[in-house]
Each structure stands twice: as structure tokens, then as C-alpha cells.
């Protein structure tokens, strides 16, 4: 089948490569190059780089609503568009530009976690499982009928970034199965239960602010859920401190400590008291202008000590 592929980040790359092996990709659509890093040099989206390596034509329209994108799809000769984390809401003209419409690979079990950051919010909310849904796009926000889903368990120490990386090839395999069913005429689109929907809005920098006054499980889940972006952070001695790889303790050991107090440091990490009397163990830390390192290394350099306090940092560090 002749298709158009629309996507931008690394999560979409396994889907592009899998589709290109089985189907004819007439066109790849990705977001424009954007400034990245301290130097602000323009960097191409991961999908554009992968498409170029595969020898596929790429366009990068600034907007999905000017008519340029709909015209490009209509002129591609494709039957179907595949959308994987493209990053823009598609208007009706784009959704209806091809005979078979648009299929989307979404990183949750719909209707849960509709929106831009389903994997991140599933981790932040401490969900035991998530997965990938293949759905037919309509004009709503991830409201279209579902053709196929694959479920996975979320690991107890898994970060959002690690989970995204694990889900990407699962999504690619599920997409190929769904496409085969579309070609064979055996696919079945099941409407979503709107009453069961939850939402996963795009993350902002302030979502990385950690408040140790909350329960330890929620604190640990937030630290993992905002990794790698925007990253978890607290304030330590008036300076921002980034936090990585957290786990809640299983027994109360901080009942007499104020939330945010450092109660122990060892090879396992730094233990910080939380508001419910439990603690979180944070494995790695990074101070402003310094390298990321284990908590033990950070403490050895006198970067942190038992009795120090980690407070909620506002505003978000730049």
C-alpha cells in the first residue's frame, strides 16, 4: 500500500522504518528544524534524519492549516496517512485528504491518557500498565475508534524516557499488524468509551518541580515521569538541583523528619523524607553547571549531606 508517514521525534522512527520495509512510503512529513542546545543551532527532527537515510522525500510545513499539507497529501497518490507523534493537530482538510484517512499510533490504552504526553502522565500517576493503541484519527483529540492495542507493564523503576524507548518497537509491530488488516479488509474499528477518558496534556517546565510534602510514591513517580524532559528538580541551598531515578521506600523511616530533609546517603542513593512519613531514594543528582553523578559521588564532593533540605524550586530553572 502507498502511504504518507507523518512524525517527528525518535519515538516515531521505528514505525517509519518498519512501514518502509513493507509498504511504499510516498512522502514523509515532519516538523520544521528547531534550535537545540546551548548554541541554538538548528537541529532536524529524528524522523527527518531517518527518512533522509532511507532516501525518502521529506517536507516540513510550518503549519498544518494553510492548505499546503492537505495539498501535498492529496498529490502524493497515497491511500493512507500514518501519524506518529507528529506534534500538530490536524484539521479536517488533512484528515480527509486521502481515501483511507489517517491512522495514529498513540502511546496509551485509549481512552485513557488522550493528549500530547500519555507515557509521561501514566508514569507520573503511578499506573501499573500502559501500552499502544492504533486508532483512526478524527477531528477530536485522540477520540477516534481503535483498531488494535498492545498492553505492557510499567516497571517499578522505569522512567518515562525508558518506557517510550521500550514502547516504540511495540508500536511499530502493532502498526504493521493493523495495516495488514486494513489491506486485507479485516480490520475492525471499536469506538472509544468517552466516559472513561482521561487526559495527558503537554508537559511544561513547572511539571518538573518536586514537592517532598507529598506522599513518597507520588514524589518518586513524578521524578521518573518527567525524565528526560523537563527533568525533576528541587532547590538545595538556594540553587536548583536536578534529580534522577527515584524509588519510594517500603517502610516508614522518616516519621520524625520534615519533608525534604536528607536522612541518609549511601551507595543506593540519597534518601529524602516525604510528607507521609516514608522516603524516596534518589540515585543520581546534578547541580547547576556540574555533571550528573551518583548520590554517593555528589556527597563525596560535599555537594550534599545528611540534614540538608531539598525544597520546592520556583520558578523552573532555565
State how far the alpha carbon of 161 is from the alpha carbons of 4, 21, 75, 210, in Å. Answer: 27, 26, 36, 18
H helix or E strand, kind and range, residue 248:
strand 239-248
pLDDT tens digits, one per residue of 49-90: 999 999 999 999 999 999 999 999 999 999 999 999 999 999
Radius of gyration for the chain, computed over Cα atoms and rounded to the nearest angstrom: 22
Question: Residue 316: what pLDDT?
Answer: 66
Rounded average pLDDT over 102-107: 98
Q: How many CB atoms lie within 10 A of CB 39?
A: 6
Question: Are residue 153 and residue 240 in the same domain, yes or no?
Answer: no
**Which of residues 196, 219, 240 is at a domain's end?**
196
Q: Work out the burial of residue 268: count CB atoms within 10 Å of its CB; fewer than 13 is exposed, 13-18 middle, 19 or more buried.
A: middle
Are 306 and 243 in a shared domain? yes
Which of 34-48, 211-225, 286-300 has the weakest average pLDDT? 34-48
Final residue of a domain: which of 175, 196, 217? Answer: 196
Same structural domain, 160 and 129: yes
Q: In terms of domains, do 213 and 174 share one?
A: no
For residue 284, what are the CA distances in angstroms to 92, 190, 262?
Answer: 46, 44, 14
162 plus 305 within the same structural domain: no
Helix H or strand E segment including 284: strand 279-287
Q: Cell 524550586 belongs to which residue?
A: 313
What is the residue range of 52's domain?
2-196
Mean pLDDT, rounded, for 273-289: 95
End residue of a domain, out of 196, 221, 246: 196
Output the pTM of the full model: 0.95
Has residue 317 been placed in a domain?
no
Query: Total structural domains in the chain?
Result: 2
Question: Does the structure show a pLDDT above 70 at 301?
Answer: yes
Whole-number Å distance between alpha carbons of 167 and 231: 20
| 318 part of a folded domain | no
Number of other residues whose CB lies within 10 A of the CB of residue 185: 6
Arithmetic mean of pLDDT, 223-235: 97
- CA–CA distance, 192 with 244 (Å, rounded to integer): 36
- Band of pLDDT at residue 318, cut at 50, 70 and 90: low
Instruction: Judge if 166 and 20 occupy the same domain.
Output: yes
Domain with residue 240: its CATH number is 3.10.25.10
Is residue 40 located within the same domain as residue 187?
yes
User: Is the pLDDT reported for residue 33 higher than 90?
Assistant: yes
What's the sign of the alpha-carbon dihedral 189, 194, 196, 200? positive
For residue 61, whether the previous peptide bond is cis, meaning omega lies within 30 degrees of 0, is no
Amino acid at each position: 500500500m502507498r502511504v504518507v508517514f507523518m512524525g517527528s521525534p525518535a519515538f516515531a522512527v521505528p514505525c517509519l522504518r518498519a512501514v518502509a520495509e513493507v509498504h511504499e512510503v510516498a512522502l514523509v512529513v515532519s516538523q520544521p528544524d528547531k534550535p537545540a542546545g546551548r548554541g541554538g543551532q538548528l537541529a532536524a527532527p529524528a524522523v527527518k534524519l531517518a527518512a533522509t537515510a532511507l532516501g525518502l522525500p521529506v517536507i516540513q510545513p510550518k503549519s498544518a492549516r494553510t492548505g499546503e499539507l492537505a495539498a501535498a497529501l492529496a498529490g502524493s497518490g497515497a491511500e493512507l496517512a500514518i501519524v506518529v507523534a507528529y506534534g500538530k493537530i490536524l484539521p479536517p482538510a488533512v484528515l480527509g485528504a486521502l481515501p483511507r484517512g489517517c491512522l495514529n499510533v498513540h502511546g496509551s490504552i485509549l481512552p485513557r491518557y488522550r493528549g500530547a504526553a500519555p507515557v509521561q502522565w501514566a508514569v507520573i500517576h503511578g499506573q501499573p500498565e500502559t501500552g499502544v493503541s492504533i486508532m483512526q484519527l478524527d477531528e477530536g483529540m485522540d477520540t477516534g475508534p481503535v483498531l488494535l492495542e498492545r498492553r505492557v507493564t510499567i516497571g517499578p523503576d522505569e522512567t518515562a524516557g525508558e518506557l517510550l524507548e521500550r514502547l516504540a518497537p511495540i508500536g511499530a509491530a502493532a502498526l504493521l499488524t493493523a495495516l495488514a488488516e486494513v489491506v486485507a479488509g479485516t480490520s475492525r474499528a471499536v469506538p472509544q468509551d468517552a466516559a472513561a477518558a482521561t487526559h495527558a496534556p503537554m508537559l511544561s517546565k513547572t511539571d518538573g518541580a518536586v514537592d517532598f510534602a507529598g506522599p513518597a510514591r507520588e514524589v518518586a513517580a513524578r521524578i521518573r515521569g518527567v525524565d528526560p524532559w523537563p527533568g525533576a528538580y528541587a532547590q538545595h541551598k538556594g540553587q536548583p538541583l536536578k534529580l534522577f531515578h527515584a524509588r519510594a521506600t517500603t517502610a516508614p523511616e522518616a516519621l520524625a523528619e520534615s519533608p525534604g530533609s536528607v536522612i541518609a546517603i549511601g551507595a543506593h542513593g540519597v534518601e529524602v523524607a516525604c510528607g507521609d512519613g516514608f522516603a524516596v531514594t534518589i540515585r543520581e543528582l546534578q547541580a547547576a553547571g556540574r555533571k550528573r553523578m551518583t548520590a554517593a559521588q555528589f556527597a563525596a564532593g560535599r555537594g550534599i549531606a545528611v540534614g540538608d533540605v531539598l525544597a520546592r524550586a520556583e520558578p523552573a530553572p532555565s
